[in-house]
Amino acid sequence: MVIYSFYIFDRHTECIYSKTWLPPPPAPGAQPQHDISTSTTGAAVASSDPHHHNPNTLRSSRSAVSAANKASDDAKLIFGTVFSLRNMVRKLGGEDDAFISYRTAQYKLHYYETASNLRFVMLTDTGTLSMRNVMHQIYINLWCEYVVKNPLAPVEHKGGAGVRNELFELGLNQFITGLM
């Protein structure tokens, strides 16, 4: 089982958490895209001359901004896809039908929605069985324990402010790597 990425969307359709473990495989016949520098190491290099601009610093800060924009765009596309498919399933099948997953040639998208309208989305390889129980366990054992019960965590994550909880991230990483 291969897990590519994981997203959490709040009830305001904002992506409040995203984590990528592996990039999805390229489409057959597609040219591989090489992202030359996605690391921001070296960005802390400073100069005492305020007019001197280090090209490595500028390049790494641009790549960090472009990587953040790409992640934001990916999250918006994923939510738009999930929202559209969920509405289509409800219109065609009635209110009792639920959208659980869909599969393409490259990946499988798994969907889990909580009673509080949190939406968990996981992208895996095509051979993976339903991850609904896994996402439910992430919600119950990790989200509720480390984010909801944390008195320092905000209740709402407005304006794209995501979840910044070290215990949640460590627990999620251990949980997912234990599955792979």
Position 46 in a domain: no
What confidence score (pLDDT) does residue 161 get? 59
Q: How far apart are CA 147 and CA 142, in angstroms?
A: 8
Position 153 in a domain: yes
Position 40 in a domain: no
Position 49 in a domain: no
Structural domain including 135 reads 3-22+68-179
What confidence score (pLDDT) does residue 150 get? 83
What confidence score (pLDDT) does residue 66 get? 63
Position 32 in a domain: no
Position 30 in a domain: no
What confidence score (pLDDT) does residue 49 get? 46
Strands 3-9, 108-113: pairing kind: unpaired
CATH number for the domain harbouring residue 163: 3.30.450.70
What confidence score (pLDDT) does residue 158 get? 64
Position 166 in a domain: yes
Position 154 in a domain: yes
What confidence score (pLDDT) does residue 15 get? 87
DSSP symbols for 50-89: TT---HHHHHHHHHHHHHHHHHHHHHHHHHHHHHHHHHHH
pTM of the full structure: 0.71
132 near 110, Cβ under 8 Å?
Answer: yes
What confidence score (pLDDT) does residue 45 get? 34
Tens digit of each residue's pLDDT, the chain (180 residues): 889 999 999 888 888 888 888 776 666 665 554 433 232 223 333 334 444 445 455 455 555 556 566 667 788 888 888 888 888 888 887 776 678 888 989 999 999 999 888 999 999 999 889 999 999 999 999 999 998 888 777 676 665 556 788 888 899 999 988 887
> How many structural domains compose the chain?
1
Q: Where are the alpha helices (DSSP H) in the chain?
A: 55-93, 132-137, 166-179
